[in-house]
Amino acid sequence: MRGPKAWAAAIAVGVVCTAAPAAGLGAPTQAQLERGIVDIEVSESGGGAAAGTGIVVGTDGVILTNNHVVKGSTRIRVRDVRTNRRWSAEVLGYDVTGDVAVLRITKRGVSIRTARLGNSAKVRVGDPVIAVGNANGSGGRAEVSHGVVSRLNRSINVEGALGEMERLTGVIQTTTPLAPGESGGPLYNAAGRVVGMTAAASFTVARGFAIPINRALAVVRQVRSGKDSATVHIGPTAFLGVRLVTGVSGGDGAVLAGVLAGSPAAEAGLRAGDTVTALDGTRVASGAGLAGLIGRHRPGDVVTVTWTDQTGATRSARVTLTTGPTA
CA distance 143 to 137: 10
Contact between 183 and 8 under an 8 Å Cβ cutoff? The reply is: yes
Answer left, alpha or beta for residue 286, where phi above 0 means left and psi between -120 and 50 means alpha: beta
102 contact partners, CB below 8 Å, separation of at least 6: 62, 63, 64, 91, 92, 93, 94, 219, 220, 223, 224
Residues comprising the chain, all counted: 327
Residues 39, 80, 95, 99: which is the catalytic one? 99
- Give, for 52, the enclosing helix (H) or strand (E): strand 49-56
Residue 63 burial (C-beta neighbours within 10 Å; 0-12, 13-18, 19+): buried
Catalytic residue among 183, 202, 263, 286: 183
Nearest to 291 by CA among 253, 318, 235, 234: 253
Which residue among the candidates 39, 68, 202, 274 is catalytic per the annotation?
Answer: 68
Identity at 144, one-letter amino acid code = V
Q: 263 an active-site residue?
A: no
Amino acid at 225: S
Query: Does residue 99 carry a catalytic annotation?
Result: yes
Our CA dihedral for 67, 68, 72, 73, rounded to 10 degrees, sits at -70
* Alpha carbons 251 and 309: distance in angstroms, whole number: 17
| DSSP letter, residue 18 | -
| C-alpha to C-alpha distance for 94 and 291, rounded to whole angstroms | 14
Residues annotated as catalytic are: 68, 99, 183
